[in-house]
């Protein structure tokens, strides 16, 4: 496994410096891009060190540098702290193209669960703030909609959310993240991407989810809305799969799922034209 370099990145939003772990493949292609990876954990737990097999695998598969951001966690640091940390890490990565030897026009985002939700939010945030430019987003069972599992949940699917990440878990994670966010906040898409009124001019998305995952319905709905807004989407649904099932790497379904995610990231961040 590729060993990371740890560095501290300055915040562009007035916050503290942000730890970023950089994974460099042995033979990076200078015509390729780079990947900003955002780990999962329901907005309230997790770390790069705990989940470093993910960014290491991305770097090896895509042959490009991968920066994994150690964003601040809720409830100690609620919205918009995690989003601002991710945006600062993206800005830093974009500025390292010459130093690290990659094509700055081919930076993509990748994240799983809460990290997938933050990646989707970051794509909206970067568009709204005028950059940095993002070439693609790889969203693995992303946590997108704060309403899921609550009284105002728009999805009524009794077969999802029974394992690993439940409705109660989801309510806890979103309440912890909320901070000073209010329903009339103009930054609604930065908080809960499913609330974004405008999904146009976002980068192409690869979305992978399981049919028994609590996030299944919100993932499908988000994919449909992206398509309606003119955004290219490659959606993959895995029958019988629960949340984070691919943590059992030797299972045949996990291998197919993980292989698809890595192939999508390699295609998006790899050299233009293959």
pLDDT of residue 27: 78
Q: How far apart are CA 99 and CA 5, in angstroms?
A: 14
Give the active site residues.
113, 213, 243
| Count of residues in the chain | 274
Contact 32, 63 (CB under 8 A): yes
pLDDT band at 174 (very low <50, low <70, confident <90, very high): very high
* Per-domain boundaries in the chain: 5-269
Q: What is the CATH number of domain 5-269?
A: 3.40.50.1820
pLDDT band at 274 (very low <50, low <70, confident <90, very high): low
Average pLDDT over residues 93-111: 97
Q: Please give the model's pTM, rounded to 2 decimal places.
A: 0.97
- The percentage of residues in the chain with a pLDDT greater than 90, rounded to a whole number, is 92
Q: How far apart are CA 112 and CA 94, in angstroms?
A: 21
Q: Is the pLDDT of residue 55 over 70?
A: yes
Describe the crossing of helices 252-269 and 53-62 by its angle, rounded to 10 degrees.
60
pLDDT band at 30 (very low <50, low <70, confident <90, very high): confident
pLDDT band at 273 (very low <50, low <70, confident <90, very high): low
Q: pLDDT tens, 226-242?
A: 999 999 999 999 999 99
Which of 26-30, 96-100, 106-110, 186-190 is predicted with the least confidence, judged by mean pLDDT?
26-30
SS3 158: coil
Contact 141, 116 (CB under 8 A): yes
């Amino acid at each position: 496994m590729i060993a990371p370099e740890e560095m501290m990145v300055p915040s562009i939003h007035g916050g503290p410096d942000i730890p970023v772990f950089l994974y460099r493949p042995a033979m990076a292609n200078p015509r390729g891009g780079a990947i900003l990876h955002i780990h999962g954990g329901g907005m309230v737990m997790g770390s790069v060190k705990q989940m470093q097999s993910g960014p290491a695998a991305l770097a090896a598969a895509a042959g490009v540098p991968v920066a994994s951001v150690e964003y601040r966690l809720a409830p100690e640091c609620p919205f918009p702290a995690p989003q601002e940390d991710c945006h600062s890490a993206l800005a830093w990565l974009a500025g390292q193209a010459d130093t690290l030897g990659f094509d700055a026009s081919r930076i993509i985002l990748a994240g799983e669960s809460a990290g997938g939700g933050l990646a989707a939010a970051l794509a909206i945030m970067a568009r709204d703030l005028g950059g940095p430019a993002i070439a693609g987003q790889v969203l693995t069972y992303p946590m997108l909609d704060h309403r899921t599992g609550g009284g105002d949940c728009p999805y009524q699917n009794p077969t999802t959310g029974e394992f690993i990440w439940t409705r109660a878990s989801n309510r806890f994670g979103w309440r912890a993240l909320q901070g000073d966010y209010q329903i009339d906040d103009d930054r609604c898409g930065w908080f809960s991407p499913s609330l974004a009124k405008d999904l146009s001019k976002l980068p192409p998305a690869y979305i992978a989810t399981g049919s028994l995952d609590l996030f299944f319905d919100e993932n499908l709905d988000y994919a449909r809305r992206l398509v309606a807004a003119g955004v290219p989407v490659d959606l993959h649904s895995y029958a019988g799969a629960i949340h984070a099932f691919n943590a059992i790497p030797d299972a045949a379904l996990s291998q197919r799922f993980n292989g698809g995610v890595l192939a999508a990231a390699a295609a998006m961040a790899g050299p233009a034209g293959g």
